[in-house]
Chain A
Amino acid sequence: MQNMSQKPKRGWSLRDVIFLAIIGIFFGVIYQVWSYAYYLIAATPLKPYANDLTLGVWIMAGPLAGVLLQKAGATIIGELLAAAVEMLLFSSWGAANLISGFIQGLGNELGFACTGYKNWSKLGLLFSTIGATILTFVWDWFQSGYSEYHFGLLLTLLIIRFISIGFFAGVLVYWIKKLVLKTGINK
């Protein structure tokens, strides 16, 4: 991808930004399709289940950016860009979009950082999904009041969350990366 070009690996070129923003807008369009399902469940007491079940889709943008651009900071910036797009074009949640985007991106980023930004494949993605699961859960502990739920529900939610993040932000991102490599568009 972009990392093959002559641009320095650390800096952000206009093209990188536009590339991630366009992907972010596509995600916004996908979310709109999905949000109906979320909305139906979220209007009931099953709302925490709806949150955790769909969380993986919401945080895909970060690890996808990381795996495609393969540089430090790509994950968190990718997720923040997607959150900014979501906030500016698709919703009026504002602060909630940006702060949770930052937390999600940070969780994923820490995972890749654990491998010293050397592994962008299975191991990096595994760490990244674990990081995101833990950090977003801690955030929801305060922000969504998970501290008030009883233990049984919490445990179920944590497992559902890891499965959702593990699939969408882990397995699916890995498949996408393999597909991208196979087509050779990264030269």
Chain B
Amino acid sequence: MGKRKKHLNATILTIIMLGIGFQIAFSRSVILNVVVTFICLLYLLYCQVLLRKVLIMLLLAFPLAFGSWWSFIMFGTGDTWHSAWIYGSRVYAYLLLGSMLTLTVPVKEILISLSIHIKLSETFVYGLLASFNLLPRIRQQFKLIQYSAQMRGKSYRPWQPALYLRIIIVALHWSEDLAEAMSSQGFSEGFPRTRTFNDPLPRWQWGFAIIVIMLYFSAAFLVSPW
């Protein structure tokens, strides 16, 4: 944790992300979208996220931003150019805002930080963490489900209920096993537990989050630049 001491806390990032993300949906400003995008980009660079990772993310989102932009040129009413640029740049504003949290803090730290600072239920935190470890096995299982269908000359498509039945059966078994395993290892729901994880949240960061969100509000809805 030490080397990330100068970074924003995961809880603060989550609050900023949701607080500004919600407002972006109602703001109609290209300039602000660009400003948000750039500030987040600078933060990513400050946190030394791999440049290649950021570039790939920006490139992958380009077709989506372009599709949005183009659809307003084609189907828009009123000032179509303005709309096109608003909704095209909005894709990037959302992407960068989200990546500010997801690319700079590991999943485990995000969840534990939320449980410490905003009292997100630990049943949810540890339940999610435990299931995330299953990701490789779930991918494997998904392939197995499809192979076993192919053995019987069938193949499952996402609109066939049988596929989901198989998924539900697996989820039922695994969730029971995992929950039992966790309680036998001493996880008891709703009881205090010893923390080995230190997640400092200096008080100024709360103030920072509030100021940033208020600043965005006044810029977007009182000033509302182009």
Contacts and interface: CB of A to CB of B under 8 A. Distances in A.
A30 B124 contact: no
A159 interface: no
B142 to A, nearest CB: 5
Nearest to B106: A88
Q: In the complex, which range does the number of interface residues on chain A fall in?
A: 35 or more
Interface in A22-53: 22-26, 29-30, 33-34, 39, 41-48, 50
Interface in A91-130: 91-99
Contact of A45 (B75, B83, B178): B75
B213 interface: no
B172 A1 contact: yes
Contacts, number: 202
A14 B183 contact: yes
Contacts of B178: 18
Given A14-B179, A45-B71, A23 B169 contact: no
Given A12-B123, A14-B182, A15-B176, A150 B17 contact: no
B64, B70, B75, B111 — which one has the most chain A CB atoms within 10 A of its CB? B75
A19 B172 contact: yes
A35 B137 CA distance: 21
A155 interface: no
B138 A13 contact: no
B172 A17 contact: no
A175 B18 CA distance: 35
B175 A19 contact: yes
Contact of B17 (A30, A94, A185): A94
B134 to A, nearest CB: 6
A57 interface: yes
A99 B90 CA distance: 15
B70 A179 contact: no
B187 interface: yes
Contact of B95 (A26, A93, A153, A172): A93
Interface residues of B, number: 74
A142 B172 contact: no
Interface stretch (B125-133, B197-205, B215-223): B125-133
Interface in B125-172: 126-128, 130-132, 134-135, 138-139, 142, 158-159, 161-162, 164-165, 167-172
A95 B18 contact: yes
A85 B111 CA distance: 11
B164 A25 contact: no
A26 to B, nearest CB: 5
Contacts of A29: 138-139, 142
Given A88-B110, A93-B94, A13 B189 contact: yes
A9 B36 CA distance: 43
Contact of B25 (A39, A81, A139): A139
6 contacts: A14-B123, A15-B175, A22-B175, A95-B97, A98-B18, A145-B83
Given A12-B123, A43-B63, A64-B164, 11 more contacts: A18-B131, A22-B171, A25-B134, A47-B70, A81-B128, A84-B128, A99-B25, A143-B25, A149-B71, A150-B76, A167-B159
* Nearest 6 pairs of A and B residues by beta carbon: A94-B98, A95-B21, A17-B127, A43-B63, A47-B67, A21-B131
